[in-house]
């Protein structure tokens, strides 16, 4: 079982303008990057749980109901009498989303180190990412968790930078650096790397991360595919799938879930397994993740694929 940690929220997607200026239409879809990864793992056939603060309000109950319906274990949820985070999403002409968050004092930020779960051997790995890395007190709680568990289980990490909840890029750099020290596999988009380190090339950043626990750095590059950086085998890329894109919401989360799925299906989801992966296996892993993300790109919103839809 894989335990995904971080925020759960509702994305409010703006709809086409009506004739009346005093009315704006929205479609609300359950989301949040870690939430999407947990759902994506289950749809791809991997047992998953979700460790997060969940509101007791109407939207929080809907989030919990979605997790239950998708088969995500909910015994790691911590319930708070606080609001659910809202994300207002506008999708650009190229399908890329822009986010504006309403999350101060919301349930997914309220986890503390006192609420960290005790994990048994059924939990093979942890995934962390997105703005739960930088908002308090959840950021300190998750850092303590990965620090505690990195010697025992596979830790995967996706910065998934969102400046709206925490505008300080220096804060993001500091937090990313701390989490990166304990992760075994880091997935990051080229856009996030540019935000974090605009004057440093990807190879240099990856080399720095690979000096710690990290064995693999994988950079997604949108329509240009994905690149893997390794300690011993160098770095190389695979192309993207050519699809008609509806939007790219959830594509990165799909890619992340697919990476974990590929390793889990082959019983390679341990820190000790990663250094021995061959170039061929890593290329197959990238192609599988690219194929999964391409499916999501053909759909509106974070509608992640099931295992039989990824070929």
pLDDT digits (tens, 9 = 90+) for 230-276: 999 999 999 999 999 988 889 999 999 999 999 999 999 999 999 99
Note the pLDDT of residue 100.
83
Note the pLDDT of residue 93.
60
Note the pLDDT of residue 276.
97
What percentage of the chain carries pLDDT values higher than 70? 97
In whole angstroms, how far apart are CA 73 and each of 4, 13, 63? 10, 27, 13
Q: How many secondary structure helices (H) and strands (E) does the chain include?
A: 8, 14
pLDDT at 60 over 70: yes
Cβ atoms of 275 and 215 within 8 Å: the answer is yes
Reported as a single tens digit per residue, the pLDDT across 277-290 is 999 999 999 999 99
The domains of the chain, with CATH numbers, are 2-15+27-309 (3.40.1190.20)
Kindly state the average pLDDT of the residues 77-95: 85
Note the pLDDT of residue 18.
65
Kindly state the average pLDDT of the residues 169-192: 97
In whole angstroms, how far apart are CA 192 and each of 42, 58, 195? 26, 33, 5
Note the pLDDT of residue 92.
66
Note the pLDDT of residue 280.
98
Closest CA to 86 of 51, 62, 112, 113: 62
Reported as a single tens digit per residue, the pLDDT across 181-227 is 999 999 999 999 999 999 999 999 999 999 999 999 999 999 999 99
Note the pLDDT of residue 11.
87
Note the pLDDT of residue 23.
76
Tokens 């939207």, located at residue: 59
Q: Is 237 exposed, middle or buried (0-12, 13-18, 19+ CB in 10 A)?
A: middle
- Confidence class for position 26, pLDDT limits 50, 70, 90: confident
Reported as a single tens digit per residue, the pLDDT across 105-137 is 999 999 999 999 999 999 999 999 999 999 999
Tokens 């919990």, located at residue: 64
| DSSP secondary structure, 171-219, as one string | HHHHHHHHHHTT-SEEEEEHHHHHHH-TTS-HHHHHHHHTTTT--EEEE
Q: Is 24 exposed, middle or buried (0-12, 13-18, 19+ CB in 10 A)?
A: exposed
Separation of alpha carbons 245 and 228, rounded Å: 24
Positions of E strands within the chain: 2-5, 9-14, 26-31, 48-51, 53-55, 78-80, 85-91, 97-102, 125-129, 154-158, 185-189, 216-220, 226-230, 235-238
Task: Report pTM.
Answer: 0.94
């Amino acid at each position: 079982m894989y335990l995904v940690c971080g925020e759960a929220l509702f994305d409010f997607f703006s709809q086409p303008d009506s004739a009346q200026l005093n009315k704006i239409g929205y479609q609300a879809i359950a989301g949040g990057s870690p939430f999407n990864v947990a759902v994506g793992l289950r749809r791809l056939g991997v047992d998953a749980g979700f460790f997060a603060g969940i509101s007791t309000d109407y939207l929080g109950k809907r989030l919990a109901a979605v997790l239950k319906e998708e088969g995500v274990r909910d015994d790691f949820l911590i319930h708070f009498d606080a609001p659910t985070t809202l994300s207002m999403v506008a999708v650009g002409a190229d399908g890329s989303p822009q986010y504006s968050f309403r999350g101060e004092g919301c349930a997914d930020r309220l986890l503390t180190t006192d609420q960290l779960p005790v994990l048994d051997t059924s939990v093979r790995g942890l995934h962390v990412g997105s703005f739960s890395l930088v908002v308090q007190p959840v950021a300190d709680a998750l850092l303590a968790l990965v620090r505690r568990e990195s010697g025992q289980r596979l830790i995967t990490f996706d910065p998934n930078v969102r400046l709206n909840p925490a505008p300080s890029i220096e804060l993001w750099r500091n937090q990313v650096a701390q989490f990166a020290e304990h992760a075994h596999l880091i997935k990051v988009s080229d856009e996030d790397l540019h935000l974090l380190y605009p004057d440093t090339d990807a190879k240099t950043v990856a080399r720095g991360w690979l000096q710690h626990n990290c064995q693999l750095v994988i950079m997604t590059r949108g329509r240009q595919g994905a690149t893997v950086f390794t300690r011993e085998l160098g770095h190389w890329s695979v192309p993207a799938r050519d699809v008609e894109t509806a939007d790219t919401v959830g594509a990165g989360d799909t890619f992340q879930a697919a990476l974990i799925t590929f390793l889990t299906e082959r019983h390679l989801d341990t820190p000790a397994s990663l250094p021995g992966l061959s170039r061929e296996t890593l290329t197959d892993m990238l192609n599988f993740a690219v194929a999964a993300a391409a499916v999501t790109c053909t759909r509106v919103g974070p509608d992640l694929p099931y295992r039989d839809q990824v070929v």
